[in-house]
Structure 1
């Protein structure tokens, strides 16, 4: 889908549950992408954030199970993407993780995991958090299904190892 160049804002939940949406071209006229704008667009395979975007809400690609790539244009003054994880430009705030990621090791620069950043990352089995981390936002790990094993060390108090 190609959006017209007259669009400056993509309102919250604008394309939520558009399960047939496989691709979208965000024009350089867009400066703001609202919360959950593309969430649960299960056919969406990639998203490119143009240079013009200076505001991104929470959970923009939550539940996009076929998403394989998050890109940010190099000239964007506010955001960056590294290893398919969306950060602010300085990589101090993690905004959104690719929902299909299974293992994540965050850089030492990260101090904040934003709201809904890992929401619905059902394949996530391993995450390494840096010592610099100070804040984990609302619903940051909501609906994550961890693969875990339960070891019964005694029948009364089982021990769960994630």
Structure 2
């Protein structure tokens, strides 16, 4: 699914438990991914987050058990608690070269691997 350019936020629980969802492309116009926006989308395998997203809400991708790789661009300033909880196959790369990413407690619990890009 490709979210249309011009959309500025993905609402709270917008796609919660949408088990048919396999891929999501988030355009640069989106600044906010809401709380539980993709919670328990159990067949979601791929998410492309473009430069534009500043906030990833609490449990936004929690329970997306098939999610395999996510790159968090350096424009993101906040990753909410348990945002990627229970994503056991997820390799996540967080670009924190600017040192501006604030990560809440429990946000990456259960991920396969987490890599931080720093200055």
TM-score norm. by structure 2 comes to 0.68
What do you get for the CA RMSD once the two structures are aligned? 3.2
Per-residue CA deviation, residues 12-47 of structure 1 (Å, 9 max, x unaligned), is 111100001000111111011111111100111121
Q: Which stretches in structure 2 are left out of the alignment for 5+ residues?
A: 91-101, 113-119
- What residue is the counterpart of 2:88 in the other structure? 100
> Which of 66, 75, 78 is matched with 1:77 structurally?
75
Matched, 1:36 2:26: no
- Partners of 1:17 and 1:116 lie apart in 2 by 21
What is the count of residue pairs matched by the alignment?
A: 101
What are the superposed Cα offsets for residues 94-122 of structure 1, whole Å, 9 maximum, x if unpaired? 853561159xxxxxxxxx86255256x4x
Larger radius of gyration, structure 1 or 2? 1
**Which structure carries more relative contact order (alpha carbon 8 Å, separation 6+)?**
2
CA distance in 2, matches of 1:118, 1:78: 15
Gaps of 5+ in 1: 80-86, 103-111, 125-162
- Give the structure 1 partner of residue 107 of structure 2: 117
SS at match of 1:40: coil
Q: Distance between the aligned counterparts of 2:2 and 2:49, measured in 1?
A: 14
Query: 8 Å contact 1:96–1:114 — kept in the other structure?
Result: no
TM-score (norm 1): 0.52
1:52 CA drift (Å): 0.4
Corresponding residue for residue 52 of structure 2: 52
User: What CA distance in whole angstroms lies between the structure 1 residues aligned with 2:70 and 2:55?
Assistant: 16
